[in-house]
Amino acid sequence: MTELVFTPDGNPRAFRDALGRFATGVTVITADTAEGPMGFTANSFAGVSLDPALVLWSLANASSRYRHFATAGHYAIHVLDQTHVDWLARFNRGGSGFDGLNHEVNPEGVPVVHGALARFDCAQQATHDGGDHLIIVGRVLRASYRNGAPLVFSQGVYGGFVAGV
């Protein structure tokens, strides 16, 4: 087995590839903006604290949606399941977003889509410089969930999770 090594002065692609070995879930984060309801896919989601209930996610500084989400007072994080593969193209760059998608607005005015594996309605708690990303910490106002199989992202591809392996 060949082990590839990354050093800070080395190839940034090797670092990205090493990070890709860690499988993550996939989310769609939504907010109300001056341009209307907006969302995008992200896999940089994690729980931070149970008391108080806090979560975090990271927003690329180079994102075309940066200005909308960096200052959003409220947002919703939707955890996708394996049946939501069509949401990926919808909320990726150039996708149709909320056009033609049945959705509602939560009490904070954030567009939400029903059917997610879990949803966290949040108020922005803090932001932190994270190099080429902004780390956003949210205070969870409400969370809901259902049973199902999560959509997983690893090594540049989407897939499923097999329980009991």
Q: Is residue 54 part of a domain?
A: yes
Q: Which pLDDT does position 48 carry in this prediction?
A: 97
CA atoms lying within 13 Å on the CB side of residue 137: 11
Q: Is residue 3 part of a domain?
A: no
Who wins on pLDDT, 10 or 130?
130
Q: Is residue 161 part of a domain?
A: no
Place 137 in a pLDDT band, splitting at 50, 70 and 90: very high
Across the chain, mean pLDDT equals 91
Q: Give the total number of structural domains in the chain.
A: 1
Task: Over range 22-45, report the average pLDDT.
Answer: 94
Instruction: Please give the residue range of the domain that contains residue 94.
Output: 13-154
Residue 164 clears pLDDT 80, i.e. is over it: no
Residue 83 clears pLDDT 60, i.e. is over it: yes
Q: Is residue 115 part of a domain?
A: yes
Task: Over range 109-135, report the average pLDDT.
Answer: 97
Query: CA 20, CA 150: separation in Å to the nearest integer?
Result: 17
Long-range contacts of 17-25 (CB under 8 A, 24+ apart): 17/155, 20/154, 20/155, 20/156, 21/154, 21/155, 22/154, 23/152, 23/153, 23/154, 24/152, 24/153, 24/154, 25/79, 25/80, 25/150, 25/151, 25/152, 25/153
Q: Is residue 78 part of a domain?
A: yes
Q: Is the pTM of the predicted complex or chain greater than 0.85? A: yes
Q: Is residue 46 part of a domain?
A: yes
Q: Which pLDDT does position 103 carry in this prediction?
A: 95
Tell me, what CATH number does 83's domain have? 2.30.110.10
Residue 51 clears pLDDT 60, i.e. is over it: yes
Q: Which pLDDT does position 161 carry in this prediction?
A: 81
Q: Which pLDDT does position 1 carry in this prediction?
A: 54
Q: Is residue 34 part of a domain?
A: yes
